[in-house]
Structure 1
Amino acid sequence: MNRRTTLPVVTAEPGPTEWGEPSYGVGPWADEHDAAPDDPRYDPELLAAGDRRNVVDRYRYWSRAAIVADLDARRHPFHVAIENFAHDANIGTVVRTANAFAAAAVHIVGRRRWNRRGAMVTDRYQHVHHHPDLAALAEYARAGGLTVVAVDNVPGSVPLETVRLPRASLLLFGQEGPGVSDAARAVAGLTVSIAQFGSTRSINAGVAAGIAMHTWVRQHADLDAAW
């Protein structure tokens, strides 16, 4: 089963889903197929009740552990970090986008608690680590052979559109408003900026993260492996 497979959509009223819409997903396996599979990756409860999670068709009816294991076998070697000193609401969006691009991990720097609403439950499948401060993040990067790449439109930054990102990158983003802190830029081996042409001083942190991650994907990923 893959993402291009067209699966029936249940239109009954099965109750709330991750999207808040009862019609999302597929119904019980018995309603769609002849015999239940004996593949251990499939979750018996999902087979019986249906699968209305926010996952691609490839993972329909799979258990959470099976999905994570499959993703672990194909994650990309880039990491993403975001500073969290004011409960930035964009962190959930960053996590969701990191999951979509199969990032190795997301790192939250600063406050441990973050708003998970924007993640749309993708944090269940994405490795998320916490670091109390930037020094701890820098040590993690050093130990893992990662180049910290700060993303912010500041003097001295290199245009993201013209730079070749290191394959083993840790893309670091600041919180909405102030952007990447001075301390973050100090631990970065490279600072890149995103070209803008309008009147706003900066773009949304979640959007910036998506642009930077997609740039890494365009430069390094095997696009034939995309769903």
Structure 2
Amino acid sequence: MTPSPESVPDAPAEPPPADGVGVGPWPGPPPADPRLDPALLAAGDRRNVVDRYRYWRHEAIVADLDSRRHDFHVAIENWQHDLNIGTVVRTANAFLAAAVHIVGRRRWNRRGAMVTDRYQHVRHHPDPAALRAWATGAGLAVVGVDNLPGSRPLETAVLPRRCVLLFGQEGPGLSDAARATCDALYSVAQYGSTRSINAGVASGIAMHAWIRAHAAPPTA
């Protein structure tokens, strides 16, 4: 996988590393591009990033993402060190959420994030009321997603452009305190025998609903 012309000018062809992961050392004189990391050019780039960011410095990648982030945020309650939080962060990175907000305990299991938390802004709020206060100050609607009585179907909704998508703890779902902060509640339609889908899956569905309503297809 060679870097794309848009990311690295005059990128020469090169064989991939023996294990097929990432790209090897840059062949020939390194390009004069301040976004590129000399250490990665010399040793190769095996990070979990798309090809356009091969050899880029970490700070340069974050700066480029920040210039293109979408208007939605994602929040998830964390009272029992929910293992789904890492998946939520990884999915938020894929859909270029403005930020992920952890509500409750500050510490969370990062394993499922697959290092994407290095490129995704992650903030903490001690409780739902603090998240609500922050969202109000930022001019964002708080949209809860859970299969609760009174929830409207997400499939027929158009989510607000500027919003926080709020998800509950795996198992109990949104806490009573979290529900009280929401401007709207939506549910994900299910057709099988299980009572619920996990928070990681639900977050991906909801984020994609926002993308379908408000985002253009990605460029190269």
- What is the TM-score with the length of structure 2 in the denominator? 0.93
Structure-1 residue corresponding to 2:17: 10
Would the alpha carbon gap of residues 226 and 211 (structure 1) be closer, same or farther in structure 2, given more than 3 Å must change? farther
Residue 140 of structure 2: aligned partner: 146
Unaligned 5+ segments in structure 1 are 12-21
The corresponding residue for 2:35 is: 41
Quote the residue 1:201 is aligned against: 195
- The amino acid of 2:76's aligned partner reads I
Percent identical? 70
Q: What amino acid does structure 2 have at the position aligned with 1:214? A: H
- Aligned mate of 2:22, from 3, 22, 25: 25
Distance, in Å, in 2 between the alignment partners of 1:77 and 1:83 is 20
2:183 corresponds to? 189
Distance in 2 of aligned mates of 1:51 and 1:78: 30
| Runs (4+) off by over 6 Å | none
Q: Figure out how many residues of one structure are paired with residues of the other and give that number.
A: 212
**Change over 3 Å in CA distance of 1:36–1:163 after alignment to 2:** same
Matched, 1:53 2:47: yes
- The residue type paired with residue 200 of structure 1 is T
> Given the alignment of the two structures, is residue 172 of structure 1 paired with residue 166 of structure 2, yes or no?
yes
Counterpart in the other structure of 2:87: 93
Q: TM-score, normalised by structure 1?
A: 0.90
- Structure-1 separation of matches of 2:203 and 2:22: 28
Mapped pair 1:132 → 2:126:
yes
| Residues 95 and 28 of structure 1, relative CA distance in 2, 3 Å threshold | same
Report the equivalent of 1:66.
Answer: 60
Closer, same or farther: CA 219–8 of 1 in aligned 2, 3 Å: farther
- State how far apart, in whole Å, the 2-side matches of 1:117 and 1:53 are: 15
Structure 2: unaligned runs, 5 residues or longer:
none
Query: Tell me, what secondary structure is at the counterpart of 1:161?
Result: helix
Distance 1:59-1:7 versus aligned 2 partners, 3 A rule: farther
Q: Deviations over 1:17-38 (max 9, x none)?
A: xxxxx541110012xxx43111
CA spacing shift, 1:127–1:158, aligned 2, 3 Å: same
1:133 Cα deviation from its structure 2 partner: 0.8
- Deviation readout 1:102-128 (Å, 9 max, x if unpaired): 000000000000000000000000000
**CA offset at residue 222 of structure 1?**
1.4
Q: Aligned partner of 1:82: which letter?
A: I
Alpha-carbon distance, 1:79 to partner = 0.0
Please give the secondary structure, in 1, of the residue aligned with 2:200.
helix
